[in-house]
Amino acid sequence: MKPNKILPNLLLLLGTLLFSLVVLEMGLRFFAPQGLTKSQIEPDLGWINVPNTRYVFHHKEFNTPIHYNSYGMRDLEHTRSKPPGVFRIAVLGDSFMEGRQVPFDSLYSRVLERLLKEKGLNCEVLNFGVHAYSTDQELVLLKKYALEFDPDLVIVSVAKNDIATNVANAICGLDPKGNLQITPPGAPLGSLVRAWLYRNSHLFTFLNFRLPKLMSPGARKRNPRKIFEVGDAAMWSDLTEAQQDLNPTLMPLYAKVEDPRVDYAKRLMEAILKEIDRVCHEREVKFILLINSARFQIQPGSWDRKLKQFNLAPEDYDHEAVDRWLLDFAAEVGFPGISSAERFRDLKARKGMSFHWRIDGHWNSNGHREAARLTVEVLDSLGLPPL
């Protein structure tokens, strides 16, 4: 090929490629829109919700209008300085607390505030929940942002998958002596570009999330991986989506005989919770741990079906192991712990109520409401807040 023809051909090739990408982007945008994120890079936390954003969160089971306030919270506007005479509660957590699966007024935080006001308390419940967060990020969020709002009580919601994703995120780690270390993820240029594409490109989102699922329909049936044996965060890179329900990665946590593969992950979780308790105690703020229930804890037969799916012996595993461990640890350290699983099982048995979306797996409005009611009962038993 003559040199004077190389540049025109190259430009033609690039133009054709660009045109094809635009056509694919527009096709997905109009005929198969993807679930674009509404997050932006935050160097200490990884990401936060984009402030002052409105959108509709689409799913097969629901279409929820979402609004983030000027701080990126799914909440009303709040002043950083606490109004006089107000008892302020900060709720931290992941997608369960952000609650994109339910209307705004059905959120755990909103229901909790209404119930407390009905009892005569002048209070505000602030929702700091961010989808896909883990306990490590909630610790950093508490220190960097939430405490600036001067809360009297901090409620941290913990999901089962946090135990794994705390390791995957590599924001928190343990030194050889078992001391907690915090290393902010930073904001490299590549992450900034990817974050922009996830917020704006249906094609980029499809290629990174939807296509791999379509290409691997049997992925959910694979045998448990020995992921806990590796202390390298790179081995956790496929845990891109917060999952509350049971999956092969989490199964060693439920073994009746302590599994050494999960030792580091459990010690890391304990260290993070201890640090949350220490920070709150230092500020004279009360701290309560809320453990999210999972579908397999509530639905009859679901646990056995999961074990069969993963080729595991039922007699070797206990579906309450994680909740029991976290509650025992909370009691040992000296902060209250709440598990909603027993309450949900009782209401399902007596009234046939459901608390999780069948496909999505997060709490529905029943789950948010009953978890809030249980929290009020626990607060009453502790003499909190002072009425």
- Determine how β-strand 180-182 pairs with β-strand 172-174: antiparallel
Residue 77: both structure tokens together = 């506007």
| DSSP H helical ranges for the chain | 3-31, 95-98, 108-118, 135-144, 162-169, 189-200, 202-205, 211-215, 263-282, 295-298, 302-309, 321-333, 341-351, 365-382
In a domain, 311, yes or no: yes
Give the max Cα distance, the chain.
Answer: 86
Asked if 303 and 321 touch (Cβ cutoff 8 Å), the reply is no
CATH number (domain holding residue 337): 3.40.50.1110
CA distance 279 to 265: 21
In a domain, 20, yes or no: no
Q: Which residue has the tokens 């965060």?
A: 233
CA distance 210 to 103: 26
DSSP 111-125: HHHHHHHHTT--EEE
Residue 166: both structure tokens together = 């705390």
Interval 303-334: pLDDT, tens = 998 899 899 999 999 999 999 999 999 999 99
Asked if 167 and 104 touch (Cβ cutoff 8 Å), the reply is no
Q: Higher-confidence residue: 300 or 214?
A: 300
Interval 5-17: pLDDT, tens = 788 888 888 889 8
Residue 113's closest CA among 293, 373, 356?
Answer: 373
Q: How many domains does the structure of the chain reveal? A: 1
In a domain, 45, yes or no: no
CA distance 378 to 356: 22
In a domain, 24, yes or no: no
Interval 62-108: pLDDT, tens = 999 999 999 999 999 999 999 999 999 999 999 999 999 999 999 99
CA distance 133 to 241: 10
DSSP structural state of residue 314: G
Q: What is the mean pLDDT of residues 282-306?
A: 92
In a domain, 46, yes or no: no
In a domain, 176, yes or no: yes
Contact residues for 189 (Cβ-Cβ < 8 A; gap 6+)? none
Residue 82's closest CA among 153, 21, 27?
Answer: 153
In a domain, 108, yes or no: yes
In a domain, 219, yes or no: no
**pLDDT at site 133:** 93
Q: For the beta carbon of residue 274, count every other beta carbon within 10 angstroms.
A: 14
End-to-end CA distance of the chain: 85
Residue 280's closest CA among 145, 381, 126, 151?
Answer: 151
Residue 161: both structure tokens together = 């998958």
Residue 76's closest CA among 63, 67, 85?
Answer: 67
Q: Is the pLDDT of residue 229 over 90?
A: no
**What residue numbers bound the domain in which 366 lies?**
53-187+239-382
Q: What is the mean pLDDT of residues 266-273?
A: 98
Q: What is the mean pLDDT of residues 50-70?
A: 93
Q: What is the mean pLDDT of residues 24-37?
A: 83
Residue 285: both structure tokens together = 């703020």
Interval 339-366: pLDDT, tens = 999 999 999 999 999 999 998 899 999 9
What is this structure's pTM?
A: 0.86
Give the pLDDT band of residue 177 (cuts 50, 70, 90).
Answer: very high
**What is residue 358's three-state secondary structure?**
coil
Asked if 322 and 334 touch (Cβ cutoff 8 Å), the reply is no
Percent of all residues in the chain with a pLDDT value above 70, rounded to a whole number:
87
